[in-house]
Amino acid sequence: MKKYILVCACLAFATSLSACNKKSDGDTVSAQNDATALDGWTLVWNDEFNTGTVPSPEKWSFDVGGSGWGNNELEYYTQYRKENARIENGSLIIEARKEDFEGRKYTSARMHTTNKGDWLYGRMEIRAKLPAGVGTWPAIWMLPTDWKYGGWPNSGEVDIMEHVGYDPNVIVGSTHSLKYYFKIGTQRNKTIRLPDVFNQFHTYAVEWYADRIDFFVDSTKYFSSPNDGTDWQAWPFDQRFHLILNVAIGGDWGGARGVDDSAFPLRMVVDYVRVYKKNN
């Protein structure tokens, strides 16, 4: 009898341990006793991409069109089109394709959490593999929801991860504001080189506080953008922001050395998106 009880207890422990190592279903915020737990932080929003075949409309919206998006991009962003955005094998797939569509030569997807996930401060963490190919420009980034100080760049931008295909394995993290942004050459950013962003998952994150935004890849903090204590022109990051995931093709930066059409189709694969609030 004791042996039977011991075996049952061991099986129960093993089952519990296995469950802790699985991603949550993504339909609700996960409890803090599984793989989403992070010491010192409380999970407030997540998508593990474990259910359905398309991104959840309760969590994600799509930008649609082929306007160039202020950067002379070449793609047409589609909405709920499985060729460009779908759930597959427990991951989100954003796929860029070479095809004629609505007057453009490429298609892709640009997803965002506006009014479905908006936060002031916290840790934003995304685990992803990036597409390879000259002319690609994948990004994981944030824009303001309420545009408190007016249009871009006045109200700010946070680039958690940007990568351009002609500079492989180099990740860029940036913040932009009226005082510090790329069009006047004053942007605050830093790069980090990784061994393989195409075939290996890496975790891209920011920890956003009132006095700074820290940038991480995996467990390495490689950049911090400080609040210099002046005014909103330097620090508009005192308002709600939302997340954006997209794969751009071409554009002023991504297309600076052309586009390799032989690379298509290509994918950004996202394992999860998690947002945490710092514990008091």
pLDDT band per the 50, 70, 90 thresholds, residue 34? confident
Residue 71 has pLDDT above 50, yes or no: yes
Q: Which listed residue (73, 75, 162, 207) is catalytic? A: 162
pLDDT tens, residue by residue, 169-205: 999 999 999 999 998 999 899 999 999 999 999 999 9
In the prediction, which pLDDT does 3 show? 37
Residue 1 has pLDDT above 70, yes or no: no
In the prediction, which pLDDT does 190 show? 98
Q: Examine the residue annotation and report whether 162 is marked as an active-site residue of this protein.
A: yes
In the prediction, which pLDDT does 31 show? 47
pLDDT tens, residue by residue, 116-133: 999 999 999 999 999 999
* Residue percentage of the chain with pLDDT more than 70: 88
pLDDT band per the 50, 70, 90 thresholds, residue 35? confident
Q: Examine the residue annotation and report whether 95 is marked as an active-site residue of this protein.
A: no
pLDDT tens, residue by residue, 199-246: 999 999 999 999 999 999 999 999 999 999 999 999 999 999 999 999
Q: Which listed residue (48, 75, 157, 207) is catalytic? A: 157
Residue 50 has pLDDT above 70, yes or no: yes
The mean per-residue pLDDT over the stretch 35-62 comes to: 96
Mean pLDDT of the chain: 91
The mean per-residue pLDDT over the stretch 253-264 comes to: 98
- What is the DSSP track for the chain? -HHHHHHHHHHHHHHHHHHHTSPP-SSSPPPTTSTT--TTEEEEEEE---SSSS--TTT-EE--B-S-TTTTB-EEE-SS-TTTEEEETTEEEEEEEEEEETTEEEEE-EEE-TTTSEESSEEEEEEEE---STTEEEEEEEEESS-TT-TTTTT-EEEEEE--TTSTTEEEEEEE-SSS-GGGT--EEEEEE-S-TTTS-EEEEEEE-SSEEEEEETTEEEEEEE--SS-TTT---SS-EEEEEEEEEBSTTTTTT---GGG-SEEEEEEEEEEEEE--
Q: Options 2.10.10.90, 2.160.10.10, 3.30.2310.20, 2.60.120.200; which CATH number does 36-278 get?
A: 2.60.120.200
